[in-house]
Amino acid sequence: MSRPINPAEIAAKMPHIDAAALQGRTMLLMPVWDGTAWSMWVDAPPGQLTRVQVVEPIRSNYLATVPADKYDFQIPLVDFMWQRASWPEVARQIMGVCHDFHQLATIAAKLEHLHETRETIDANLLTSFVQSEVEQLIIVARSIFDLLQEIMAYFWNDRISLQDPAAEATRRPYKSPDTFAKIALNGELPRTADEITQRYGIPPRTSAMYAKNAQFFVSLRKSRDALVHGGSSVDHVFATEKGFCVDPRSKYYNGFVWKAEHYYNENIVSLRPWIAHTVFRTIEACSETMSAFACDVPFPPPIAPAHKIYIRDPANKALVRLLQVDKGDLIWWGREHDEAACELDSRNWQ
């Protein structure tokens, strides 16, 4: 096990880090972009910081004041967790959430690749490949909720006190479960914000976010449980020249609001809007819930106050295009339209 790094050494070698603000938190060693070049520090030998020169990170989170590339984007939830909530007890869960966000981008890119190369793939294999990616998307999105809840439960139960002293006095008898379902649901039914507050002592602002996002969580949970525990598979996928399509009446897709422009014909719809909705509602729901929680509890200041954490991944372009789908464009797959969308500045993706 490596020895802790002396805060004085951190202050001397890593000027972008506020060593005095660490307060026992974990400092993730990641690349730093200064606007012209990359740098990184490693814990070697153990307990000492050694600076190494990075040529170009390929798939990484990194610190910068501005993104190094227009397709490197920021998810405020990731920035908040590493900057203000990174105690060692939840570092694994934070890394898991970050990994899952990368996974969402990879799934989007793989689906694009499968469409572009569909004529070189056996038709039966092609639809199986797409089904597999859809199933993986459901599983990954579902897992993010519980990783987030494990992080929030740690702070609720062991680390924080509420901003409001009166609310803090009523909170102490309550323990927060470490699964999203136990808070947001009563059996299979979503709880109201008032029910959540009464049962767990959670402040109304945070309870409202649990209640707001409970129905979307229910749809993910049912789909995930059917796949993992029920031995089922997502329904058939149809490969067309315009993109992959599904039956909108399927139990996996019938909760989505399908529009006239989504239909390939009277029976099937483009899968792409559902994919975009699942990805961005997951990010939105988890970000909203943590944001409300951060307003109710006093977290310490950021570790790197002048910097933001950006996400770099070769699959980011696919995620940027998927954002346009979520906004109502690019409903169908196609290189010509997708390449045009790549000219968009992904820094505005939020």
DSSP one-letter string for 153-206: HHIIIII---SSHHHHHHHTT----SSHHHHHEETTEEPPHHHHHHHH---HHH
Rounded to whole angstroms, how far apart are CA atoms 203 and 163? 10
Tell me, yes or no, whether 341 lies in a domain: yes
Residue 333, beta-bridge partner list: none
Q: What confidence score (pLDDT) does residue 347 get?
A: 41
Tell me, yes or no, whether 1 lies in a domain: no
For the stretch 163-220, pLDDT in tens is 778 777 776 667 888 899 999 999 889 999 999 999 988 889 999 999 999 999 999 9
Q: Which pair of tokens denotes residue 171? A: 């909170």
64 is in which domain, residue-wise?
7-348
What mean pLDDT is predicted for residues 291-312? 93
Tell me, yes or no, whether 221 lies in a domain: yes
Tell me, yes or no, whether 93 lies in a domain: yes
Rounded to whole angstroms, how far apart are CA atoms 213 and 181? 11
CA-based R_g, the chain, Å: 22
Q: What confidence score (pLDDT) does residue 101 get?
A: 94
Q: Which pair of tokens denotes residue 122? A: 């056996």
Confidence class of residue 349 from pLDDT cuts 50, 70 and 90? Answer: very low
Tell me, yes or no, whether 311 lies in a domain: yes
Rounded to whole angstroms, how far apart are CA atoms 342 and 31? 25
The tally of domains found in the chain comes to 1
Question: Cα dist. 346→23, 36, 39, 324 in Å?
Answer: 34, 20, 24, 10
Tell me, yes or no, whether 2 lies in a domain: no
Quick one: which of 212, 207, 181 has its CA closest to 196? 207
Rounded to whole angstroms, how far apart are CA atoms 272 and 268? 12
Q: What confidence score (pLDDT) does residue 169 get?
A: 77
Q: What confidence score (pLDDT) does residue 3 get?
A: 61
Average pLDDT taken over every residue of the chain: 88
Residue with tokens 């002293």: 165
Rounded to whole angstroms, how far apart are CA atoms 36 and 326? 34
Higher pLDDT, 3 or 137: 137
Query: By CB neighbour count within 10 A (0-12 exposed, 13-18 middle, 19+ buried), where does 77 fall?
Result: buried
Q: What confidence score (pLDDT) does residue 348 get?
A: 45
How many C-beta neighbours within 10 Å does residue 72 have?
21
Tell me, yes or no, whether 332 lies in a domain: yes
Tell me, yes or no, whether 30 lies in a domain: yes
Q: What confidence score (pLDDT) does residue 43 get?
A: 86
Quick one: which of 147, 69, 64 has its CA closest to 103? 147
* Predicted confidence (pLDDT) at residue 338 exceeds the cutoff of 60: no
Higher pLDDT, 344 or 271: 271
Residue with tokens 């939020």: 350
Predicted model pTM: 0.89
